Amino acid sequence: MMKTKILLLSLSTWFLITSCQKSGIAEFSTLPVVESYLAPGKKITMTISEKIPYYENAVITDTSINTLDIRVGYNGVYCNMIPLGNGIYSDTAGNISVVADSAYTLLFMFNGNNVYSSTIIPSKPIDVTQSATTIKMSQIDPENQSWINLPDPVEITFSNDDESYYLATVECIDSIRVPVYKDSIPENDIFSSMPVTGTQINIMPMRISYFGLHRIILYHINPEYAAFFMQQATTSQNYQEPPTNIENGLGIFTGINADTLFLNVIQIQ
């Protein structure tokens, strides 16, 4: 599975939060929560967790998440995913190739219900350009902000004739990490743009946490992922379940495709 790192709250945590309202129902059938991102060149992997109630006196119908018969189909052929423990399943033998512009389906039984989903692998981003591969910045002193000179945003452009969704993540991959904000300990070494349907994403220098080499991953994503991401990013209190494309379940089974760029952030005195 592609290492997405798109700053998503854990699906299992989210669905636990959304289950915290009390209910008069004494019996509760747990629902499967699927998290799977299919990417070309990567073996299909997914994590299955459960949505469980957070109220007392609930009678839970239990299904082991480690003994499910999970199948993924491509071109009419279905292959079983191998359980690896902790709800993780994978096509360990690489029997199913993940190919751009192709459709995939997910099937398994959970608490007597057929769980189903489908997705298409987006095409790889094309005509990708980057306005700068190096920018220079001074370290910012939060206690002395009388003069801050930031470079222009780094513009990532690409073709998008069908107005599909794209987003970018920026991650510091330098072994020596000097914070942009003096004496700070950044919570994350990665940040993400919001999904766009245009042809440009701007990397704002103010959001960069460290000096050094950064990896920019431009993702071509599906509408279900964009909807999931945008609700999470714009909702401060998640009392409603996020969007899902899982029938008789929750979570996301989606295809992604990506291109990788690099940006060097140089500290100046």
231 pLDDT band, cuts 50/70/90, is confident
This prediction's pTM: 0.84
Instruction: Give pLDDT, residue 15.
Output: 47
The rounded percent of the chain whose pLDDT value lies above 90 is 66
> Which residue type occupies 19?
S
Please say whether the beta carbons of 219 and 2 come within 8 A.
Answer: no
Q: Say which range, 156-170, 182-196, 245-259, has the weakest mean pLDDT.
A: 182-196
- pLDDT in the model for residue 23: 44
User: What local confidence, expressed as pLDDT, does residue 57 receive?
Assistant: 54
**3-state SS, one letter per residue, for the chain:** CCCCCCCCCCHHHHHHHCCCCCCCCCEEECEEEEEEEECCCCCCEEEEEEECCCCCCCEEECCCCCCCCCEEEECCEEEECEEEECCEEECCCCCCCCCCCCEEEEEEEECCEEEEEEEECCCCCCCCEECCCEEEEECEECCECCCCCCCCCEEEECCCCCCCEEEEEEEECCCCCCECECCCCCCCCEEECCCECCCEEEECHHHCCECEEEEEEEEEECHHHHHHHHHHHHCCCCCCCCCCCCECCEEEEEEEEEEEEEEEEEEEC
Least confident window among 106-120, 160-174, 227-241: 227-241
**pLDDT reported for residue 210:** 95
pLDDT tens-place string over residues 40-65: 999 999 999 988 665 555 555 556 89
Q: d(Cα 54, Cα 16) in Å, to the nearest integer?
A: 8
Q: What is the pLDDT of residue 208?
A: 94
pLDDT tens digits, 237-256? 555 667 899 999 999 999 99
> Distance (Å, rounded) from C-alpha 225 to C-alpha 190?
19
Residue 93 or residue 20, greater confidence: 93
Give 61-79 pLDDT, tens digit per residue: 556 899 999 999 999 999 9
